[in-house]
Structure 1
Amino acid sequence: MNLPEIVSRDEWLTARKELLEEEKEVTLRRDALNERRRELPMVKVDKDYVFEGPDGKTRLLDLFEGRRQLIVYHFMFAPDDTEGHNSCSLLVDNISHEEHLHALNTTVALVSRAPLSRLTPFKERMGWTIPWYSSFGSDFNYDYHVTNDESVMPVEYNYKDKATLLEKGTPWYIDGEWQGLSVFLRDGDDVYHTYSTYERGLDALVNTYSYLDLTPLGRQAHVTQFSLHDAYAS
């Protein structure tokens, strides 16, 4: 990659102010987009999903831990896997003190299809404190389109069906485990699905990207080239 042009301080300041105007436009556009996201209609969740957590069987309502909002990160961890996916692990590494979310009536939790007996050792290895639940044996992953298996349910990922995924040249999405995020709102004992996002819709949750995007060299690597945080050479 080529390095930036070397210029005088005055030339740099002119270029920086031009970029600042673009940054302001993006900020205002993002504010408007966030408002539209909050105004999305919601769908009542009628299915009684059962998960496996550290205290045994639990339901979607219990994942809220008494709070009004629930953010579920669909972590790629298949039933036969022994460790988590690199990109999912990178995202979870970027979730710091959950107390900030808790103070605003919001719980964040991880959900994967692998049995809890496989999730727990990896969670301890990574040093994470975020609640992690197994959806093994339930329809949860299929209903929220982060596990694709044509024998169970028609293929869909990021709001695209199988034919569209193949046409776009992304055949890998038609089978297996994929990452995503879903948001739920609780009103008493009623739970509503308000939002889901996939692929690059998750970028904003990875602070590592945000820091690197400020630098001349940028992200430098495709997401699959990131390693588990305990696997980098010292």
Structure 2
Amino acid sequence: MTAAEPLKPAIELARSNGVRFPNESEEYRQARDALLAEEIELRRHIERVAEQRRALPPGGKVKKHYMFDGPNGQASFEDLFDDKETLVVYSYMFGPERERPCPMCTSLLSSWDGEVPDIRQRVAFAVVARSPLERLLAFKKERGWHNLPLFSDPTGEFSRDYHAWPADGSDDAAFNVFTRRDGTIRHFWGGEMSQATADPGQDPRGAPDLMPLWTILDSTPEGRAPDWYPRLNY
């Protein structure tokens, strides 16, 4: 889809869909076509937002020399890029003060573990937490993760600067993207949707939602439910 291409009205596309399910009523089909039109509009809006994100002006330079502990020893922030020009960093809520990691973060990372080889075809990817590396690797083994690249932020400086370690000392998750162009590393984009931007009756979350769990539950009659969250064990 390009800006020059005229788009057909969403409801027109929905009505030309032609899908029918056994024994559905005409009332169901009319409501489903109306919903499908909204889903088409949502897809278009997601693409517009992604285009706007890609068009952001250059972000702030990364001037500090952040160092991490990784499975192969110490690694600089630039090392995390490997041979890629873009780096995605997820800050995991598993600080040294926690007895166990955040169940929500863990659920998300479990769903990403199998995607890491695919992600790394396009960009570099790293998961950073403030707990010591041995602790992170022990939980990786417990959880059965195979591909997630875990790094410890021993000083917490990176976590502090990029909003994963608030000033009140609590632990928080963060999702940040960085670029390396002509030898210069810059922050490209970071998630900023939090409690301050949440709508009434909803948990703070980004859009599109990064968690496949919620994407699946949002397609069901039960929905995601404000009183249910994933657990580390069942």
Larger RCO, structures 1/2 (Cα 8 Å, 6+ apart): 1
Q: Equivalences for 1:98-109 in 2 at 5 Å? A: 98-104=116-122, 106-109=123-126
Q: Equivalences for 1:64-79 in 2 at 5 Å? A: 64-79=81-96
> Which has the larger share of strand?
1
Name the SS for the 1:183 alignment partner.
strand
Deviation at 1:126, TM superposition (A): 1.1
Q: Equivalences for 1:22-171 in 2 at 5 Å? A: 22-41=38-57, 42-95=59-112, 96-104=114-122, 106-128=123-145, 129-149=147-167
Deviation at 1:182, TM superposition (A): 0.5
Change (3 A) 1:180 1:138: closer
One-letter identity of the residue aligned with 2:105 = C
Moved over 4 A (4+): none
Give the distance between the partners of 1:222 and 1:68, measured in 2 at CA.
40
- 5+ residue gaps, structure 2, are 1-22, 195-204
Give the distance between the partners of 1:202 and 1:147, measured in 2 at CA.
22
Deviation at 1:8, TM superposition (A): 5.8
* TM-score normalised by length of structure 1: 0.79
Deviation at 1:135, TM superposition (A): 0.7
Change (3 A) 1:130 1:8: closer
Name the SS for the 2:68 alignment partner.
strand
Give the distance between the partners of 1:125 and 1:189, measured in 2 at CA.
38
Q: Contact 2:156–2:165 (CA<8 Å) still a contact in 1?
A: no
Give the distance between the partners of 2:223 and 2:85, measured in 1 at CA.
37
- 5+ residue gaps, structure 1, are 1-6, 150-173
Question: Structure 1 vs Structure 2: percent identity of aligned residues?
Answer: 32
Give the distance between the partners of 1:202 and 1:94, measured in 2 at CA.
17
User: What per-residue deviation string (whole Å, max 9, x for no partner) do you get for residues 20-74 of structure 1?
Assistant: 1111111111111111111112222111001111111111111112212111001
Q: Contact 1:78–1:114 (CA<8 Å) still a contact in 2?
A: yes
Give the total of aligned pairs: 198
Q: Which residue of 1 aligns with 2:31?
A: 15
Give the distance between the partners of 2:161 and 2:171, measured in 1 at CA.
13
Q: Which residue of 1 aligns with 2:206?
A: 201
User: What per-residue deviation string (whole Å, max 9, x for no partner) do you get for residues 167-211 of structure 1?
Assistant: xxxxxxx44110110001122532111011154127621111111
